[in-house]
Amino acid sequence: MSKIFDTAKKAGLDGFMLALLAMIFLAWLWPYPGMKESPVPLSDISSVAVSIIFFFYGLRLSPEKLGAGLVNWKLHVMVHLSTFILFPLLALAFRPLFNSDDSQTLWLAIFFLTALPSTVSSSVIMVSIAKGNVPAAIFNASISSLIGVFITPLWMGLVMDASSGQASQGHFDLLSVVGKLSLQVLLPVCAGIALNKRWGHFAEQHKKYIRYFDQSSILLIVYTSFCESFGEHLFSSLGLKEIVFLGIGMLTLFFGIYFLLTFISNLLHFNHEDRVTAVFCGSKKSLVQGAVMSKVLFPGAQAGLMLLPIMIYHALQLIAASIIAQRMAARLDEDEARLIH
């Protein structure tokens, strides 16, 4: 059990998750500093911090790391089809179950989760622990973040324009959203990659402190998002029962995708390393990208509610994935020991 907790801690499931809960509680208790009426522009500060996050991410991402994972195209196609096609289609299939106005808003938040790119750091960590194809994991997780700048807004635009509730608020401006995300995410990443040879070693040496900065920025985004939501009483329709059912739904979604990817990997005759990479990279969703995109896609009070499913999914995916990764590694060690004897 201690190994599982150590793995989860490495992947980010430690004091950071408690801090996220603390930010939500603080936003409920004291929402004014994070609202538009506040004299302190916390939302603008968090936007600048996000661009710095992705600059440092690009700074640590060398072209060589990306190039090392280019060869295995079947694996890459499978991961990205799962991330950007399979997840959203599953959410669309369950949409008829959400038939009231309040439940439609919750469904939109769930769909936002399914349209997000895969997470980077925890995917690579889990693949490494389970003895998978690490270069391919780095490639897929990195490319997923870049593709998400375009695919996630496209999915949200299609759904929000088709929704009568959203249509009353005006047409979804896809080009504007993609432009904002490109400036805030894509441009800093590209700048970081371009400067990798010169400053990449600095980012690697100080990755611990960069991670603290990343987490602090996400905490600020979560706080400001929930301040607006609590200020507008958007959570009044959600009780403990709804939160519990949402958690069960998120866990079911993770394991449904995980087992489906395992089945497809076996059909395609993937070896152990590629199968591990497929199931971990293809079943993860990024809280960082969710926090960033919620600010652009849902400016105002709705952003906090849109973040609720991804926050729950983020915590549950780390717990479940850490257990699975440990078991995979242990099973592989047992098989190797059996072959030796």
For residue 67, what pLDDT is reported?
67
For residue 113, what pLDDT is reported?
96
Low-confidence spans in the chain with pLDDT less than 70: 1-14, 65-70, 162-172, 237, 300-301, 335-341
Classified as helix, coil or strand, 168 is coil
For residue 156, what pLDDT is reported?
92
Dihedral, CA of residue 63, residue 153, residue 220 and residue 314, to nearest 10: -80
Alpha-carbon distance of 146 to 148, in angstroms, equals 5
Alpha-carbon distance of 198 to 180, in angstroms, equals 28
Q: What is the largest CA-CA distance in the chain?
A: 70
Question: What is the residue whose two structure tokens read 């987490």?
Answer: 215
For residue 164, what pLDDT is reported?
47
CA separation (Å) from 161 to 29, 77, 152, 165, 327? 34, 28, 14, 9, 44
H helical segments located in the chain: 2-11, 15-29, 42-59, 63-68, 73-81, 87-93, 101-115, 121-129, 134-162, 164-167, 174-181, 187-194, 196-205, 207-231, 240-267, 272-283, 287-297, 302-340
| Best CA proximity match to 185, nearest among 51, 18, 88, 34 | 51
pLDDT tens track for 213-271: 888 888 888 888 888 778 777 777 677 788 889 999 999 999 999 999 999 999 999 99
Sign of CA dihedral 142, 255, 247, 124: negative
For residue 167, what pLDDT is reported?
39
Dihedral, CA of residue 309, residue 314, residue 317 and residue 322, to nearest 10: -160
| Best CA proximity match to 93, nearest among 74, 110, 105 | 110
Alpha-carbon distance of 234 to 227, in angstroms, equals 10
Q: How many residues does the chain have?
A: 341
High-pLDDT (> 90) share of the chain, % = 27
For residue 166, what pLDDT is reported?
43
For residue 10, what pLDDT is reported?
57
Alpha-carbon distance of 266 to 29, in angstroms, equals 50
Domains of the chain from N-terminus onward: 2-333 (1.20.1530.20)
Sign of CA dihedral 143, 146, 150, 156: positive
For residue 59, what pLDDT is reported?
86
Classified as helix, coil or strand, 99 is coil
CA separation (Å) from 286 to 72, 205, 226, 254? 23, 24, 18, 13
Amino acid at residue number 215: Q
Question: What is the residue whose two structure tokens read 């790119």?
Answer: 117
Query: How large is the C-alpha radius of gyration of the chain?
Result: 20
Amino acid at residue number 100: S
For residue 258, what pLDDT is reported?
95
For residue 68, what pLDDT is reported?
62
